[in-house]
Amino acid sequence: MNDSLKRLKKAWLIPSGWRYWSEVNNSVVGYWYTVTSLIFFFFAGILALLIRVQLAVPENDFLTADQYNQIFTMHGTVMMFLFAIPIFEAISILLLPQMLGARDLPFPRLSAFGYWCFLIGGIFVCGSLFFNAAPKGGWFMYPPLTSTHGPGIGADIWLLGLTFIEIASIAAAVEIIVGVLKCRSPGMRINLIPIYGWYILVVAIMILFAFPPLLAGDILLEMDRAFNWPFFDANRGGDPLLWQHLFWIFGHPEVYIIFLPSIALLATIIPTFSRVHLVGYSWVVLSAVGTGFLSFGLWVHHMFTTGLPGITLGIFSAASQAVAIPTGVQLFCFLATLLIGHVVKSVPMLFALGGMATFVIGGLTGVMLAIAPFDFQAHDSFFVVGHLHYVLIGGSIFPILAAVYYYAPLIWGYKLSDKLGKLCFWLVLIGFNVTFFPMHLSGLLGMPRRVFTYSDEMGVSSLNLISTIGSFTLALGFLVFLWDLFRPANKKKPREDNPWKAGTIEWLTGSQDQTVGIRSIPIVKTRYPLWDQPHFLQDVSEGKFYLPDALEEKRETLVTSTLDAKLVQCLRVPGPTFITLYSALFSGGFFIFATYHWWTATLISGLGAVICITYWCWSGTAWIPEKEKKDIGLGVELPLYKSGPLAVGWWAMFITMLADITAFISLIFGYFFYWTINENFLQPHTGPGFFWPMVGGILILISTGLTYFGKSLNNKNKTFSFYLILILSALTSSGGAYAFIMGPLVYKMSPTSHVYPAIVWVLVGWTALHAVLGSYMQLYCIARRVGGKMTARYDADICNVSLYTCFLALTAILTALVVGGFPLFAQGTL
């Protein structure tokens, strides 16, 4: 082993012993993530079997109504939030860098933080089931069943536990977006991005806009529960339908967030076994983008029976059916790829084809459900249960199983058994269809969803028994799968690198050391370099490309430009640390203690989280390098430090704030929603007046200006003025927060009295919190400069904070205009 490889290995060394858990590298964290999501999957699967046992015969008393309701709620919740979304993030964290030819994702510690949040939140939510305290309002949590009529702690566990996990999901989305846009191999232009990368980019962007509305809904519902703010209480101006809108604006894209990554796996696997390039690459990409885009305009088809006007039903009905077109394009591109290639028969291909055949049934019943008239009957019946499992199992589980069989050699170094794979496939395929096909019929025969029992009179007894038998066959298939993963014979298998002869670059790492990832970062010229670029494997393994060495023994990867992947920066990524775990523990504590209304503990945890995260930023970000530029091989020198729009950190801030502002706009949507449905929304109430909101808005606007001024002073190295201006800016920002709070305060607006004061309080509260956070960040910048961590040249911190203040200003202006200006406008005085 030569010296360069030795140094590289030393830099990327995985800590041993208990320090193993401080690792942040994508291959390790991705592996934890995948295993944890699969454990949650099997947990939720067992819950599904309990459901099927209960429904095997009419009037069964295996479970009580209360137990059944907890179990079906948890089955849906765990499958959706703790398996379906995390598994795609897990697979992406595990494989994306390899696919892009990077050594790691740009923010390894953020991935680790996300993982720990997911684990803690997941255990918290699942654990509730063992204390008979689990949420039981369904995974959709419709109020008022989950607000005024939902006593107990279950709904709080759902709201706070999942909010915590959603934050982790958004963190992963930020990571993935920046990863795909900025951390590709040189030469991997936008039209050469691996198809998986494209899909995952689309999905991560969808998360960015889909999760915040749910977060906003969670905030409103939890305020309703914890403090009796009447957002969903019709007697005080609230409306339960607002939750449904917010939930499904999230919930519908969610379906595509789950199945697009899996389709992406198919799009990766199918060309390998056809031995040809994917047919219609750009068509597939455009379809994925189109599906993602359309998916935000379909949510009302989950609300066809809430009494909305016919015209609304018609529009959403037509739009929902239109999704069949991009989906059709993708499936036919896959078929075409197989047609023009030489198909190699294999277990992953079986799962891929079986998944497509299954998914098409789900798609077709989906088109049926999109048709409002048919939905009037099928909605909330077992027909929907059948449909959604065809979509999610066909569109997601089959491809994931295909991917496990496909990527096993990359991850463990050996192929799984063909024989067991085939057995597993047939058991899963038959078990699945026997379970879920009869449900379409039982639904139309009148069986509603979410019933803990049914009477024999309903005429669905034999259909249900068949479903139950099928579910155990399906479970047997998964047992075979587990056995295949864990049987001891696997250990004796010889190592095989790229046994499927794939053409994509993640297979480069199979032949090398796992943690180092790729031996040297290649110049990519085609979509399938292993097939098309001569001597590619040899050149990469011999370290003939970029970064074959780690002279300073630091972890490094390359940053390239977004469109044409030209070299931009050699990025130093942080290594192992426990601070992410501590941050996650304290953040988790904040949410968990709040569930039990232990406010002191909540406050202490929250403070702990702030301290940990601050320390993490302080010690682990925007390192000032020892030299300006570094030789990365092939005679290329790259800068080690970038700030502003060229830095990955700036992009992360920008993307995070997009999610943040989306949540805020969802709250504004709430304000106007109440106004449109309730003619008495504004009239009988006074406050928060015009003066205070405007003062707040203007102060925050000034603070933003001051921050930018401070930034330029920093660049000019005028240290003293910089401190002065930033302190002023922090004061102004906090002053803005104060002014916003004063509005409803001086008018003595009581948030429990009516929905109007409640939503005003939420909006000003949101804004004030952001303004205070802005002040904190400005003080942080001062501290960085004092501590020598930020200089005139190395100014990433102030660049990112000034970007934050832009979004803060936007938030403040909108709040001022809505709570201060709109009442006057609506009453004709403005």
Partner 1 sequence: MRKPSVELLLLGFLSSCEGSFSALSPAGDKAHTIANIFWVLSSVGLVIWLIFVSLQFYIYKIRRGPHDQKKTQLLVIGGGVIFPLILITISIYYTLRPLPELVARAPSGSLAIKVSGLQWWWRVNYLIDGKEIELANEIWLPVNEPVQLYLESEDVIHSFWVPSLAGKMDTIPGRRTHLSFTPTKTGHYRGVCAEFCGTGHALMQMDVKVVEKKVFDEWLERQRTPALSDGSRGEKVFITNGCIACHTVRGISDIGKLGPDLTHVGSRHRIAGGILLNNKTSLRDWIDHTEIIKPEVKMPSFKMLTDEDKNHLAEWLEGLK
Q: What is the DSSP letter of 413?
A: S
Distances (CA, A) of 13 to 6, 16, 20: 10, 9, 10
Residues linked to residue 559 through DSSP beta bridges, in sequence order: 569
Among 22, 123, 133, 138, binds partner 1 (CB under 8 A): 138
282: contact with partner 1 by CB under 8 A: no
Distance CA 389, CA 431 (A): 13
CB of 740 to partner 1, least distance (A): 30
The region of 457-465, 481-489, 525-533, 698-706 touching partner 1 under the rule CB under 8 A is 457-465
The region of 136-144, 420-428, 613-621, 761-769 touching partner 1 under the rule CB under 8 A is 136-144
CB of 120 to partner 1, least distance (A): 29
Q: Which CB atom, from 421 or from 697, has the smaller least distance to partner 1?
A: 421
Q: Which CB atom, from 444 or from 682, has the smaller least distance to partner 1?
A: 444
Closest to 808 in 3D by CA, of 747, 730, 745, 725 = 730
Among 123, 458, 636, 658, binds partner 1 (CB under 8 A): 458
Give me the 368-407 binding string for partner 1, x by CB under 8 A, dash otherwise. x--xxxxxxxxxxx--------------------------
CB of 499 to partner 1, least distance (A): 20
> SS3 breakdown of the chain: % helix, strand, coil, rounded to 5?
70, 5, 25
Site for partner 1 in 218-277 (CB under 8 A): 234-235, 238-241, 276
SS3 521: strand
Distance CA 99, CA 381 (A): 42
**Angle, helices 310-322/324-340, rounded to nearest 10 degrees:** 10
Matching residue, tokens 């019943």? 365
328: contact with partner 1 by CB under 8 A: yes
142: contact with partner 1 by CB under 8 A: yes
803: contact with partner 1 by CB under 8 A: no
Helix (H) or strand (E) run with residue 631 in it: strand 629-633
Q: Which CB atom, from 380 or from 539, has the smaller least distance to partner 1?
A: 380
Distance CA 341, CA 334 (A): 11
Contact 437, 386 (CB under 8 A): yes
Give me the 148-167 binding string for partner 1, x by CB under 8 A, dash otherwise. -x------------------
Among 62, 283, 437, 794, binds partner 1 (CB under 8 A): 283
Any idea of the CA torsion for 764, 765, 767, 771, to the nearest 10 degrees?
130
Q: Which CB atom, from 332 or from 669, has the smaller least distance to partner 1?
A: 332
313: contact with partner 1 by CB under 8 A: yes
Distance CA 613, CA 182 (A): 24
Any idea of the CA torsion for 169, 175, 180, 183, to the nearest 10 degrees?
-160
Site for partner 1 in 38-77 (CB under 8 A): 64-66, 69
Distance CA 334, CA 359 (A): 14
SS3 703: helix
Contact 516, 573 (CB under 8 A): no
Site for partner 1 in 333-362 (CB under 8 A): 333, 335-336, 338-343, 345, 349, 353, 356-357, 360-361
**Count of beta carbons in the 10 Å neighbourhood of residue 605:** 21
The full DSSP string for 763-777 is HHHHHHHHHHHHHHH
Q: Which CB atom, from 325 or from 769, has the smaller least distance to partner 1?
A: 325
Q: Under rule CB under 8 A, how many of the chain's residues touch partner 1?
A: 85
306: contact with partner 1 by CB under 8 A: yes
Q: What is the DSSP letter of 422?
A: H
826: contact with partner 1 by CB under 8 A: no
CB of 463 to partner 1, least distance (A): 12
CB of 74 to partner 1, least distance (A): 14
Q: Which CB atom, from 238 or from 697, has the smaller least distance to partner 1?
A: 238
Distances (CA, A) of 222 to 40, 155, 216, 230, 597: 25, 9, 10, 11, 12
Q: Which CB atom, from 66 or from 564, has the smaller least distance to partner 1?
A: 66
CB of 183 to partner 1, least distance (A): 32
The region of 140-148, 617-625, 662-670, 729-737 touching partner 1 under the rule CB under 8 A is 140-148
551: contact with partner 1 by CB under 8 A: no
Q: Is the dihedral of CA 729, 735, 740, 743 positive or negative?
A: negative
Residue 330 makes CB contacts below 8 A (sequence gap 6+) with: 263, 267, 284, 287, 288, 291
Q: Which CB atom, from 314 or from 684, has the smaller least distance to partner 1?
A: 314
444: contact with partner 1 by CB under 8 A: yes
The region of 218-226, 300-308, 473-481, 801-809 touching partner 1 under the rule CB under 8 A is 300-308
Site for partner 1 in 70-129 (CB under 8 A): none
533: contact with partner 1 by CB under 8 A: no
The region of 12-20, 118-126, 363-371, 798-806 touching partner 1 under the rule CB under 8 A is 363-371
449: contact with partner 1 by CB under 8 A: yes
**Count of beta carbons in the 10 Å neighbourhood of residue 396:** 25
Site for partner 1 in 629-648 (CB under 8 A): none
Give me the 748-787 binding string for partner 1, x by CB under 8 A, dash otherwise. ----------------------------------------
Among 92, 262, 272, 317, binds partner 1 (CB under 8 A): 317
Distance CA 106, CA 25 (A): 10
Peptide bond into 688 cis (omega under 30): yes
812: contact with partner 1 by CB under 8 A: no
CB of 426 to partner 1, least distance (A): 15
